[in-house]
Amino acid sequence: MTVIVRDLRPDVRADAEGFSATRRLALPYMLSTPDAVLHTLTHAHPDAHFGQLIAEEDGEVIGTAQISVAHDSPEPGQGSANIYVRPGRRGRGAGSLLLRTAEERLAALGVRRLFAWVLDEPENRAFAERRGFAASRSAYFLRLDLAAGTLPPRQDPPSGVELRTAADFAGDPRPLFELDAATSSDEPSDIDVEFTDYEAWVEENFEHPLLDTDLTTVAVVDGRPAAFTVAYTDGEGRYGTAMTGTAREFRGRGLAKLVKNDSLHRARAAGCREAFTGNDTGNEPMIAVNRWFGYEVCATEVRYVRELG
């Protein structure tokens, strides 16, 4: 039995289905569907040189890799390669072959510093460290049982604050783009990001098939979006928080709790049974907010970095 690595074929539905299924088995804390896989591949910014690789054994997808150049970072020469192998199919060389292919492609594109997320498990960390990667930071995955858990009571917004949804901005989502750009720059990260391309943001983010505009809550102050929580749903009862942010001048007013609570209550009413989110392990304010809702840590992921060449 031989493992091969190849590109995902966007015109072959089985490739997207195998990719998504493998990601869900290897990383059950993040939402994935075949449509989301295809959207990410076909709508990524050209300068990202985004690629999705498949490790295949006897026609079965057993591993995946997502690779890209950090084109939206002010520092050139950075890229990422996130690799996951299906449980029960490890030890067959799929991870090594995926990584080698990813490194060769990214190095040819000028990437000199490579970042990768690795689940905090001994064999995964050993795999990364044997190949010259060093840990730089870590993040938690958190899970909330929406079906059986108890959410904090819904709160009325304070005076001057209106709760709306992303669907209300469907005709002109630029105010959400501006809020996303402002708050993303404050997110804990080892690669600085600058959102400057509105049209690309609309294609990649606002039109993403997992985005649930009806469950994405926005706090508006004096007609301006001041805070939001971005909701993803997969149509199978799973809800994920893709982003929660508050503009700097509106922080300290409890708006993050307000929008998340509103979204979670409406998600439960819409039939979502479990919710997932993630936090940098050092982001104590947001960890405290999520614990207030009843989220519990379910896994840890470690960010690794390696210099290429």
In this structure, are residues 145 and 211 in contact, taking their beta carbons and an 8 Å threshold? Answer: no
Average pLDDT score over residue span 18-32: 96
**Cα distances (Å, whole numbers) of residue 15 to 53, 66, 94, 237, 307:** 10, 14, 16, 24, 31
pLDDT at 10: 95
pLDDT at 71: 87
Q: Which residue segments constitute the domains of the chain, with CATH numbers given?
A: 3-111 (3.40.630.30), 144-300 (3.40.630.30)
pLDDT in tens, 157-206: 999 999 999 999 999 999 999 999 989 866 655 655 566 789 989 999 99
pLDDT at 255: 95
Specify the DSSP class assigned to residue 147.
T
pLDDT at 195: 66
In this structure, are residues 219 and 228 in contact, taking their beta carbons and an 8 Å threshold? Answer: yes
- Burial category of 129 from C-beta neighbours within 10 Å (exposed 0-12, middle 13-18, buried 19 and up): middle
pLDDT at 72: 80
pLDDT beyond 90 at 91: no
Give the position of tokens 């001057």. Answer: 160
Average pLDDT score over residue span 90-118: 95
pTM to 2 decimal places = 0.92
Cβ contacts of 121 within 8 Å, gap of 6 or more:
none
Residue 179 CA to residue 248 CA, distance in Å, equals: 10
pLDDT in tens, 266-293: 999 999 999 999 999 988 888 998 999 9
Q: What is the edge-to-edge ordering of all strands in the sheet holding 217-221?
A: 3-7, 51-57, 60-69, 78-85, 113-119, 296-307, 134-145, 274-280, 238-246, 224-233, 217-221, 161-165
Q: Of the given ranges (140-144, 242-246, 285-289), which has the lowest mean pLDDT?
A: 285-289
Average pLDDT score over residue span 45-70: 95
Cβ contacts of 223 within 8 Å, gap of 6 or more:
none
Residue 204 CA to residue 215 CA, distance in Å, equals: 18
pLDDT at 83: 96
Average pLDDT score over residue span 243-247: 93
Task: Characterize the bridge pairing of strands 296-307 and 113-119.
Answer: antiparallel
Average pLDDT score over residue span 287-306: 95
pLDDT beyond 60 at 239: yes
- Residue ranges of alpha helices (H) inside the chain are 13-26, 34-43, 94-108, 122-130, 174-184, 198-201, 255-269, 284-293
Residue 257 CA to residue 151 CA, distance in Å, equals: 12
pLDDT at 187: 61
pLDDT at 1: 65
pLDDT beyond 90 at 120: yes
